[in-house]
Structure 1
């Protein structure tokens, strides 16, 4: 078995895309995986079925990550079944407006900021006590390259994810002495996801032309970096941000 044997990983927003790819990979590496979803129960169960068919262990649990009571119920259910969560992969993406600042309302921008930070706050609050008690934990947040490199009409998402990245750094400073690492994975454009439609074909061609590795990321590319942070190879890394963009942006 692998180094992940026995660990329990909660992947939020895991019914498709990056979340599903991450759930499958962590399970393949020996972790027991909680597939969180909001609406897509059938898709989540298909992810679980695929993991189980490959010899892994997984369960699907419905919870709106912005709802503290729902998250607490989910975490309690996982605790009863598997004894608590060791790894959090916070991937769930709340809705956001795609428009320029001149057309945006405060409800749209402020609402995205509130949703983003509320969800991160709620799920982190729910899992940190167990990690602290064990003296070991991994918190991994999915950001976006848009928090560093602006693109037209993406101010709501980019601003909210920039806040999330700074939140993670503060957590890294506070939780390091407790054996918990905190890191952020920042994908560039990712093909084969529900939000990949944001780029039209001409925009995709331009993005690929600007990428030294010659293609957009796939969900599996992002999942492998998440899995690195979830394991022991990254044990002395915290407060870091990993760009997964094929060299489109270098920092």
Structure 2
């Protein structure tokens, strides 16, 4: 197993991409921290599934927008397993779906602030341990909407574009410490949240525009995350992996 013994913290891991990533990293030998905000039952189900398959996992509730909660979470992991080697920041910060004309500054600026504050907080919390050991993997979940706008998605697309540039600056600074920083940027993914946001006509158009003939599954995204998180990724940093079936090529 490529990740034996490493500890991976996956934020927003009780469902969707985060849950698929937690399971895959556990399959590859990592001890997985399933971070969640409110659904304790779902998080415990992920832990149970990992353990039933022979892996190791623990669920930790924390709002990643709150610095004390994040610091407490990382301290709990340190006490249990010695620290965080891999950070997968996947937690979805709520956002408004509407046009710029109808949007308030609180909706746009609030999303930007919360998105970056969460990324800042979780990264700050895990960085000392990674720096001390001279090894670390940081993976942020972005979105294809950062580069390819879609109606009503200005808040999400703009905030994730900021996150992508943040990742590049970190990659430049942290490379000498043995820490890689990368972004996985999915196109539309088949999840409950996607079903709520996309109507059938929009979904059909997006499938038709995708050379692979379907939308992504959470497991497709998890595979890309797992590569960036693993020992094999020794030299890729500051990059963005587009997991979109060819819907957009860049």
Deviations 1:182-225 (CA, angstroms, capped at 9, x unpaired): 00000000002424321111111100000000000000000000
Name the SS of the counterpart of 1:130 in structure 2.
Answer: helix
Instruction: Return closer, same or farther for 1:184/1:33 CA change in 2, 3 Å cut-off.
Output: same
Query: How far has the Cα of 1:233 moved from its partner?
Result: 2.1
Report the equivalent of 1:48: 47
Moved over 3 A (4+): none
Name the SS of the counterpart of 2:213 in structure 1.
Answer: coil
Q: Distance in 2 between matches of 1:133 and 1:213?
A: 43
Q: Distance in 2 between matches of 1:193 and 1:18?
A: 11
Q: Distance in 2 between matches of 1:15 and 1:140?
A: 17
Name the SS of the counterpart of 2:139 in structure 1.
Answer: strand
CA contact 2:188–2:194 (8 Å) conserved in 1? no
Report the equivalent of 2:210: 211
CA contact 1:33–1:58 (8 Å) conserved in 2? yes
Q: TM-score, normalised by structure 1?
A: 0.99
Q: After TM superposition, list the pairs within 5 Å mapping 1:28-107 onto structure 2.
A: 28-107=27-106
Does 2:149 align with 1:156?
no
RMSD: 0.6
Query: How far has the Cα of 1:84 moved from its partner?
Result: 0.1
Unmatched tracts of structure 2, length 5 or more: none
Report the equivalent of 1:179: 178
Q: Distance in 2 between matches of 1:125 and 1:60?
A: 21
Instruction: Return closer, same or farther for 1:193/1:89 CA change in 2, 3 Å cut-off.
Output: farther
Query: How far has the Cα of 1:58 moved from its partner?
Result: 0.1
Q: Distance in 1 between matches of 2:233 and 2:29?
A: 17
Q: After TM superposition, list the pairs within 5 Å mapping 1:212-231 onto structure 2.
A: 212-231=211-230
CA contact 1:15–1:44 (8 Å) conserved in 2? yes
Q: Distance in 1 between matches of 2:33 and 2:193?
A: 21
Q: Which moved more, 1:224-233 or 1:18-27?
A: 224-233
Report the equivalent of 1:6: 5
CA contact 1:193–1:219 (8 Å) conserved in 2? no
Query: How far has the Cα of 1:64 moved from its partner?
Result: 0.3
Deviations 1:134-193 (CA, angstroms, capped at 9, x unpaired): 000000000000000000000000000000000000000000000000000000000024
Count of residue pairs brought into register by the alignment:
250
Name the SS of the counterpart of 2:204 in structure 1.
Answer: helix
Unmatched tracts of structure 1, length 5 or more: none
